[in-house]
Amino acid sequence: MESRRKFLQKMALPALALPFLPSPSWANLQKPFISPYQGPVLRVAIMGLGGYGTRVADAMKDCQKAKLVGVISGTPSKVKDWQSKYGIPAKNCYNYENFDQVKNNPDIDAIYVITPNALHHDQVIRSAKAGKHVICEKPMALNAKEGQEMIDACKQANVKLLVGYRMHFEPKTLEVIRMREAGELGEIKFFQGLVGFRVGDPAQWRLNKDLAGGGSMMDIGIYAINGARYMIGEEPVWVTAQETKTDPTKFKQGVDETIQFQLGFPGGATASCLSTYNMNNLDKFFLNGANGFAEMQPSTNYGPIKGRTHKGELSQPHVTHQTVQMDEMASIILEGKQVVVPVDGEEGLKDLKIIDAIYQAVKTGNKIPLKS
């Protein structure tokens, strides 16, 4: 009888032979009886080869439906490194000045923008004008006005715009959403979202208002806003918010250190959230309904996400968020797949409208109504 090893080797061969099939990973080799994926593959260029871009690139090695094929960077040495690390041909490498020429490159389907927040608006619009689908990191833009312009540009260019909301594909998160939708928690009353970390180097772009657009709220607070929306399953109708700053040297004017905010929902539920750049180990969601609860801690980091409900521990498997995200996004772009929690530009815009209102509430001390 054929040995298991030979059988596995045979199974891996077609993937090696076809240029746009993912390279065989250990995870894939562990599933010998599933025939190799032969459907369409989304060919992606990453723009911004920094910390998170590298994480996405590494995770994409295990994707079935998405493949890293190109880069856009201002640093030639990084481009060289990525070329050899990820097997990227020179014809798929661009810089920030010439990337509009990607228009003439039929081997790239989508651009994933993973640069500092303030650059997203212009880079997404240029990518759309070049006729490429765009995936943009969170926050999608600095404010709702920019976000709307990005949505309009992508519509006009007839390309899709998605936002890198990796938690929308995380199995334990999806289980809590399923339970809520099935009525297992009863009427939802309350959500608490605590998110933050102690930010390091004061010279980094995250603490530069011009590049970050704000402080912790833009970077990490957005997880509590987004989480409140997908956990409660409604759109908020009002916001109140309060800022505290203990280190005005590090957190300059317009760069928030800590903001607490509250959201009111049409069904009567409220959310109470904290976003900070000044506390470690803060990554907790709590959802309370009339008949049950769900709590997750950690709730938004790279995992494993941990959680329990009134029915017991959540036991869904840990996945590499970015691998699942990119496979799912390929299905959305290439096959029009409908997902449980959307990741489109409209979803990004909803969070930006709330961020705008939070900053307005901090400034005025008023309760700010939200229009959907």
Q: Which residues are catalytic?
A: 138, 223
How many residues form the binding site for ligand NAD (CB under 6 A)?
20
Which of 14, 40, 52, 342 lies at the binding interface for ligand NAD (CB under 6 A)?
52
Q: Which of residues 268-307 bind ligand NAD (CB under 6 A)?
A: none
Q: Give the C-alpha distances (Å, rounded to integers) separating 24 from 67, 88, 323, 325, 329.
A: 12, 17, 14, 19, 20
Which of 64, 105, 115, 275 lies at the binding interface for ligand NAD (CB under 6 A)?
115
**Nearest-approach distance from CB 52 to ligand NAD, in angstroms:** 3
Residue 207 or 330: which CB sits closer to ligand NAD? 207
Which of 114, 239, 326, 332 lies at the binding interface for ligand NAD (CB under 6 A)?
114
Which of 132, 133, 160, 166 lies at the binding interface for ligand NAD (CB under 6 A)?
166
Q: Give the C-alpha distances (Å, rounded to integers) separating 356 from 36, 105, 115, 210, 352.
A: 46, 37, 21, 16, 6
What is the pattern of x (binds ligand NAD, CB under 6 A) and - over residues 125-144? ------------xx------
Which of 41, 42, 44, 49 lies at the binding interface for ligand NAD (CB under 6 A)?
49
Amino acid at 162: L
Residue 8 or 174: which CB sits closer to ligand NAD? 174
**Nearest-approach distance from CB 348 to ligand NAD, in angstroms:** 12
Q: Give the C-alpha distances (Å, rounded to integers) separating 161 from 50, 148, 156, 289, 316.
A: 21, 11, 11, 34, 29
Q: Where are the alpha helices (DSSP H) in 18-106?
A: 26-29, 51-60, 76-86
Which of the ranges 28-36, 111-119, 290-298, 353-361 carries the binding residues for ligand NAD, by CB under 6 A?
Answer: 111-119
Q: Which of residues 204-263 bind ligand NAD (CB under 6 A)?
A: 205, 211, 219
Residue 137 or 170: which CB sits closer to ligand NAD? 137
Which of the ranges 97-105, 115-123, 233-241, 268-276 carries the binding residues for ligand NAD, by CB under 6 A?
Answer: 115-123
What's the chain's length in residues? 372
Contact present, 32 and 26 (Cβ < 8 Å): no
Residue 28 or 123: which CB sits closer to ligand NAD? 123
Report strand pairing: 292-296 vs 188-196: unpaired
Contact present, 241 and 214 (Cβ < 8 Å): no
3-class secondary structure, 181: helix
Residue nearest ligand NAD, CB atom distance: 50
Which of the ranges 46-54, 58-66, 80-88, 266-274 carries the binding residues for ligand NAD, by CB under 6 A?
Answer: 46-54
Compute the distance between CA of residue 179 and CA of residue 122 in angstroms, rounded to an integer.
Answer: 39
What's the burial of 49, exposed, middle or buried (CB within 10 Å: 0-12/13-18/19+)? buried
Q: Which of residues 60-79 bind ligand NAD (CB under 6 A)?
A: 74-75
10 CB-near residues (< 8 Å, 6+ apart): none
Residue with tokens 């004061």: 202
**Nearest-approach distance from CB 22 to ligand NAD, in angstroms:** 21
What's the burial of 269, exposed, middle or buried (CB within 10 Å: 0-12/13-18/19+)? buried
Interface contacts to ligand NAD, rule CB under 6 A: 48-53, 74-75, 114-117, 119, 137-138, 164, 166, 205, 211, 219
